[in-house]
Amino acid sequence: MTEPFDAVDIIRTKRDKGTLTAEQIDWTIDAYTRGVVADEQMAALNMAILLNGMSRAEVSRWTAAMIASGDRMDFSALGKPTADKHSTGGVGDKITLALAPLVAVFGVAVPQLSGRGLGHTGGTLDKLEAIPGWRAELGNEELMSQLAGIGAVICAAGAGLAPADKKLYALRDVTGTVESIPLIASSIMSKKIAEGTQALVLDVKVGSGAFMKDEESARELAATMVDLGTGAGVETVALLTNMDTPLGLTAGNAIEVEEAVEVLAGGGPDDVVELTVRLADEMLRAAGVPDADPAAALKDGRAMDVWNRMIEAQGGDPRAKLPVARHSEVVYAPADGVLLQLDALAVGVAAWRLGAGRARKEDPVQAGAGVRLHAKPGAVVRAGEPLMTLLTDTPARFGRAKEALAGAVVIGPEGDRPGQQLIIDRIAAGHG
């Protein structure tokens, strides 16, 4: 067949800071998915987009074209509202584990399609796979049955959702074009809109351990995604949250599951509880259940009941002992004072090097590896006290993990107290 456009002309348009038409965008995504547009051509276009940006209309059409490349899910047969959450990724971010069953307590179905970790950011599926027997892959019938009966599913996304994004993301990863806000926003939102939930809450991380290091770029990403979701008829809101310090006291796989279960049992670190409850509030409000009390559902065991049923439905044993790393090494406080800084990126890289993460998507991960923190910023510490414990099955990894932590800890005089706000802002439709 004769193609209506030429890839080189489209690359030149964006290279020269022009605007792509809806028809050009539709053809580009479709032709790339079919193999008509070559990888090197799409790489050049991605770089032009990274350097010159896209208008909101272009981003919206690009996202719609990626959605159109695959299937769309439909949860209307469930007869109850649906809500989902997406985090842009951080260190110690085990929020999804407790959040999905918590929201399901109130009659809102949560089809949480999640991913695996890459680099210093952990993956929800990797964490859950530390539970003996648990499986991430579900067919559509299993997914719908579990949502109808239990109300919450955390599983891998099917290959049919936005296949153009899968191909595009792999290319961006190896061509230095991951950081483009239009491409990030369309990548996330094409999958989330295709997923078909009526409400979506975005947790956009900002800080050293986040993809977005500064608040201005995080705000731009959040606003772009909120506009995309709202324009597609999905009730969408975003929270900007702090990722200068790891969330909670664990970064790894099994140890993060352990901490999420503590939250479901009514305990757990204050920051994890605070963010879980706030995101649950936002999801429930967006789904039309504004008067729920998620904090009470953590305290009285209702969320734990849903968690146990959800894990069992996917072949897991929620009461089984979690894997434990065979080796550990303690990092001690170098001085007396107040812990002023504990850099999230450094802790994430250390956990990754210990075996909790992967450099390539096909790499295995260690279930028991990671970093257990004994103090967070604001704590008074004494020289020689444990600051963190490094965990791995392969002790040869300790050296490089400790290299990653060089400079991660700042201790100041007693009386100093770092001021860190966990939830920075809320961004809704219209950005008001």
* Annotation says 86 is catalytic: yes
- Looking at 292-381, list the stretches that DSSP marks H as alpha helix, in order from N- to C-terminal side: 294-299, 302-313, 344-351
3-state secondary structure of 328: strand
321 counts as catalytic: no
Secondary element (H or E) of residue 392 = strand 386-392
Task: Report the interhelical angle of 181-195 vs 215-231 (nearest 10°).
Answer: 40
Residues 6+ apart with CB under 8 A from 208: 243, 244, 343, 344, 345, 346
- What gap in Å lies between CA 62 and CA 409, rounded to an integer? 42
Catalytic residue among 116, 166, 172, 205: 172
Check if the beta carbon of residue 40 is closer than 8 Å to that of residue 32: no
CB 131 within 8 A of CB 257: yes
Reply yes or no on whether 187 is catalytic. yes
120 included as an active-site residue: no
- Number of helices and strands (H, E) in the chain? 16, 13
Nearest to 349, CA basis, from 358, 362, 339, 336: 358
Residue type, 137: E
- Given the residues 116, 166, 191, 192, the one annotated as active site: 191
The active-site residue out of 86, 205, 219, 397 is: 86
Q: 237 with 426: CB under 8 angstroms?
A: yes
Assigned token pair, 279: 């995101």
Q: Where are the beta strands (DSSP E) in 243-314?
A: 250-252
Catalytic residue chosen out of the listed positions 180, 187, 190, 208: 187
Concatenate the DSSP letters of all residues of 44-110 into one string: HHHHHHHHH---HHHHHHHHHHHHHTS-----GGG-S-BEEEEE---SS--HHHHHHHHHHTTT-BE
Q: What are phi and psi of 409, to 5 degrees?
A: -110, 130
The answer to whether 191 is a known catalytic residue is: yes
- Catalytic residue ranges: 86, 165, 172, 187, 191
